[in-house]
Structure 1
Amino acid sequence: MALKNLQLSLQFGQLADAAPHRAALPRAQVARWIRHALALDAEITVRIVDAEEGRTLNRDYRQKDYATNVLTFDYTQEPVVTADLVLCAPVVAKEALDNGKSLRDHYAHLLVHGTLHAQGWDHETSEADADAMEAREIEILAGLGFANPYA
């Protein structure tokens, strides 16, 4: 299967400790991870934010008053996927540490996860949908050389 075209904007917000996040997210790698999860061409912005910005966005758009690992704002799914993926650096770093994963590996998983959300995949609608999305994530990540993030 040919990889889809991707117009990528990679942004870093005001992070107190941006260096490890920038090191874990080289633009070419971010594009590769996202392209492997795409079924259609896409225009995607990836923004790495601090806890305050992450919490504000989650509160304002999902009515959940805490910073979460990844938020997907999907605008169109056809003919081109357009979306913003917002990843909260301190949450991603804590989850990676707590789960014994590298920051790079966890970012790759969350970018694949968010990209699937941008295309209509949803793990909150039913157990079957959650299982299907998880299986697709595992398949994509394996193709990229990553271990099963759920194991």
Structure 2
Amino acid sequence: MYYVNQEQIAVRLNTIAGLSEAIEQLQQQWTGDAIQCLAQERALHLAIEIVTDVGSYLIDGFLMRDASSYEDIVEITAGEGVYPEGMADVLLELVRLRRPLVQEYFQWQSEQLHPLMKQLPMLLRQFKDAVEQYVDKELV
């Protein structure tokens, strides 16, 4: 029997609706001003943290092999069938932004809307649905 912290997974997945809406607003109103640049960085960072936090809860709860990196979290959960393979490629691209955003922020080119921003709202919604379906299926 698995102990999956469904409450903490749900808390994180429930932030996706608001984050997706904010990202869509940023796209529509993008001028590249300082506030928007910082908002974009924060939105990307939150998206990364949601994906990796949820992935970590799934790995721990379903006793999957241990992850050694953020990328490994995505690869392990993809390998376990949590979400479609095509989604894993974009999620990997997303989590690879963590280091530039968090550790190399002084080099981040924030004046341009990052290409992932256009994909993120739909991707995050699909991620949420896929995770919820996986948990429901596995805990039956």
TM range (shorter): under 0.3
Question: Which protein is bigger by CA-based radius of gyration?
Answer: 2
Taking structure 2 as the reference length, the TM-score comes to 0.27
- Structure number having the greater helix percentage: 2
Taking structure 1 as the reference length, the TM-score comes to 0.26
- Structure number having the greater strand percentage: 1
